[in-house]
Structures are given as C-alpha cells and as structure tokens.
A and B are shown apart, each in its own frame.
Chain A
Amino acid sequence: MRIKIGVLGLQGAIREHIWALEKTGAEVTVVKTVEHLEGLDGLVLPGGESTTMRRLLDKYELFEPVKAFAQQHPVFGTCAGLILMAQHIEGQKGPHLGLMDIDVRRNAFGRQVASFEAELAIQHVTEAEDFIGVFIRAPYILSVGPEVEVLATYADKIVAARQGPFLTCAFHPELTEDYRMHQYFYEMVKDYKEKQSVAKA
C-alpha cells in the first residue's frame, strides 16, 4: 500500500521532515494550498513559528480545510505543530486547530540560550533512553485529557503524546538522523488507512 504524507509548507523546517519521511518509505509532498491536501493519507505540521504559520493558514483559507482533513486522517505536529494541535494554550484565548486534548505552554523551557538536546525514552518508539530530543525554544505539555497517552517526559514535563490518530512532540525529530519517530507516524498512517479500507469493504 502506497502511503502519501504531506508536510505543511508555509514556513519552518519543511525539507528536514521531507527527508525523514522519505526514509520511512512514504511518498511525500509539500502542502501550500488547499488542493495539495487531496489524496494525502496523513499530514505533518513542522516546527517553525506558530504565530507565523497560523497567520498564513488563515490568509490562504487553509485553516478550515486542514481542520477538516484532520477529522479523517492522522496528523503529526512537532514544536510549533504541537501548539497548532493543542486545545488549550496558556495565556491565549482559544486554540488554533485544537485537535488534541492537551494544555500547553509556549517557549516553556525558556529562550534560545536555554535550548538544549537530551536523551529521551519514547513509548512505542524506543526501547531505551536513546532518542536525541532537540528542544529549540520548545513548548511542553502542562496536562493531558483522559484520552491522551503520554509518550515521553523530560525533567517531569510531558514532551510527546498521542491521542488516537494524532501524534505530537515538543522536540524536533527532523533535526536528527534518527527516523524512529517518523517511522512510528508512518505506521500510524498505514494502520489508519488499512482500517478505513477494511471498513469501506
């Protein structure tokens, strides 16, 4: 089964996600306009500046289509993507896409001088504490709803989570050559597609 995954291509670390996803065996395209969503099995919301991405989503009438796409397909958001996916953002009125029942804090680890990398253990993804998490002005998840599974923590802060077809992390797996997080998302997309085609049959 051919799996086609799109990367929201408005701003940020787009090509790194493309390289990582290609390693998983997926066919990868960049999503800049509504038409680009057609035929995709999953979508990645990359790291970048969340305020910039939101503005561009609104401006090009991508916001509602992406939200509608997410009702029927898996989505993976990293860093700024996590902010876009959260239902509650500290100090901000209302969410962006609001896909996941998580409460998040922006730039939670501090400014750039506090940005860091650290080894993480990630549920379903790693077998040991050996995934390099690159945290850049990163957010973290303050709390999660009952349907959300916490996948990873760092210094007692939640930094990766999954809720059904939605996967998110506060760090940047696209900035390392460790593709396990992308592979995990690829498997999520594949399972989801298989289940849908079974349901249709």
Chain B
Amino acid sequence: MAQVGTERVKRGMAEMQKGGVIMDVVNAEQAKIAEDAGAVAVMALERVPSDIRAAGGVARMADPRIVEEVMNAVSIPVMAKARIGHIVEARVLEAMGVDYIDESEVLTPADERFHLDKKSFTVPFVCGCRNIGEAARRIGEGASMLRTKGEPGTGNIVEAVSHLRLVQSQIRKITSMSEDELMTEAKEHGAPYEILLQIKKEGRLPVVNFAAGGVATPADAALMMELGADGVFVGSGIFKSDNPSKFAKAIVEATTHYQDYALIAELSKDLGTAMKGIEISTLDASQRMQDRSQ
C-alpha cells in the first residue's frame, strides 16, 4: 500500500533540494527566469520581503491566484508562505497542491504562542531558526526542513551568519556531550530531548538546513555554503537587482562551486548594483522579523 506524507517522503523532498538555490518570485515571469537560471524551487509570494518591510501593515499568505500562476508556469517545486500558526492558510496552500509551505516570520504571525502542528499535514514544511532550541522545537512540531531566519529583506548577511554559526556550534557541543547531560541541555534550550538525542547520535540535524534572510550576492551564497548550509534561499536579492537573470545564474553557480573562488570572482563581475541593504542596528525592535517567533 502506498503511504503519502510520511516523514521520509517529506524530509526526502528537502534532501533533493540540497546544494541548490530557492528563489522568491512574485509572478510567472519571474518564476520562469528563476527556473531557467537553475533554481531548485521557487517561493511564490505577493511581495518580496524588502517590499513587505517597506509596505508595513499586516503581511498575509499570497493571493492564491499568484501561487496558481507560478505553479502553472514552472516544473520545479513551488513553495509558498503561510503565517505562523495560521492553520487555515496552511490548509489552503496544501489543498492547492503547493510542494512545500514556509511557516514564515516574514509574514505577520497569526499566533504569537503556537506554531502549526506540522505532523498533521501531508505537505512538508520549512521553518526558520536562530538556535538549536528553535531548530529542535520546529522539528518536534514536524518541520521537514529548516532555514536560518537571518533578517529578511535587509540584504545584510550578518544575522544569517550568526544564526548558522550558533546552530552549528550547538550541534558540535551536543555531539560531544555525555548522554547523561542531555536532559539538562534539552531543558535549557526548551528543546525536545528525543531530537537532541538524535542530533547527538548522528552528529547532525535530522533535516536539511538552508541559509536564508539577507543573502544579496553570489559571495554571500557561497559564504553560507562554506559555513555548512545545505543550500540557500534568496528573497529580495535577485529581483531587486539590475539584471535578475544574470544575478540568479551567478548565485546558483556560486552555490554549487562555493569553494572555487576564481569562478566566484568571474561570476561577480558586472552584476550591476545589488540591493541597497539595511544596517541591522538601524532597525528598531518592532522591525526585526526574526524576533517574531521562538
């Protein structure tokens, strides 16, 4: 008997995306540019994070018409964002047949206390994390893929770097801990014990972990791969640049060959202006998307 929505099928889908770039798109035309550039998936949105940031107000799930248009335009997987804890937005996206849902802090949270019970869905979910506690809690809720939160829509890589480094160093620590220390470690992180035990045994997270939130250049993408990301999400960076097609191709190639520095130099020539970017310290607390969930 065939079984759909199993852990293996949901996590496996993310495994197939490894080493690739997932690009934010707002219409069919951008989706095609992303696919032609070699994106492994696209994230269908109404507005990219930097525009969400600029627009202010409440950011919600995209108009299903846009998601549908993108799904019809490309053969690569299509992801879409639902608000944190918004059971119905997630069910709507699942019913539409999107391939992956991002329960995302880029949108305004619908629930300030609870995330979705992602195990109860057939569609797989990706969630953001800044540390091992958030990572383990999201896995415990059923996330099949993780990504760093970074600070979305800023074009500033600093937060994504700090989140990825922290998660990696916490994994190293857990791996080297004695098993009788793990319960206290779990308590301190607010993390499910079983997930930490699994991390300890395997020496890695049980799901893939992509970089997201501030990737603006091919070198940024390569940096995140160098630090141990399994792949890269690029939000505002591509379609806010002067030549999106060229930019998108350059980011894909820099991600694949992240240690070929001469190549990255070539790829980075004449790309035009990257997105302007925001210095993190100029954001006040209410503008920090990464703080919207724990």
- B4 contacts A115, C-beta separation under 8 Å: yes
Answer whether residue A175 sits at the interface, using C-beta atoms and an 8 A cutoff: yes
The 8 Å CB contact of A13, one of B16, B100, B252, is B16
Decide: B16 and A47 in contact? CB cutoff 8 A: yes
Which of B7-15, B152-160, B171-179, B280-288 makes up part of the contact surface? B7-15
Q: Which of A32, A107, A134 contacts B257 (CB 8 A)?
A: A32
Query: Are A49 and B3 within 8 A (Cβ)?
Result: no
Residue contact B13 to A113, C-beta cutoff 8 Å: no
Say yes or no for A162: interface residue by CB 8 A criterion.
no
B252 touches A52 (CB 8 A): yes
Q: Taking the complex as formed, is A172 at the interface, i.e. its CB lies under 8 A from any CB of chain B?
A: yes
- Residue numbers in B under 8 Å from A136 (CB-CB): 9, 12-13, 16
Contact, CB under 8 Å: A118 / B3: yes
Point out the residues of chain B lying under 8 angstroms from A51, CB to CB: 35, 38, 75-76
Chain A: residues with Cβ within 8 Å of the partner, total of 40
Distance to closest chain B CB from A168 (angstroms): 16
List A104-152 residues whose CB lies under 8 Å from chain B: 106-107, 110-118, 134-137
Task: Give the residue of B6, B19, B97, B122 whose beta carbon is less than 8 angstroms from that of A10.
Answer: B19
When each residue 89-112 of chain B gets 1 if its CB lies under 8 Å from chain A and 0 otherwise, what string results?
A: 000001001111000000000000
B 1-33 contacts with A by CB, 8 A: 1-6, 8-10, 12-13, 15-20
Chain B residues with CB under 8 Å of chain A are 1-6, 8-10, 12-13, 15-20, 35-41, 75-77, 94, 97-100, 122-124, 252-253, 256-257
Binding site for B on A (CB under 8 A): 9-16, 32, 47-49, 51-52, 55-56, 59-60, 79-80, 106-107, 110-118, 134-137, 154-155, 172, 175-176
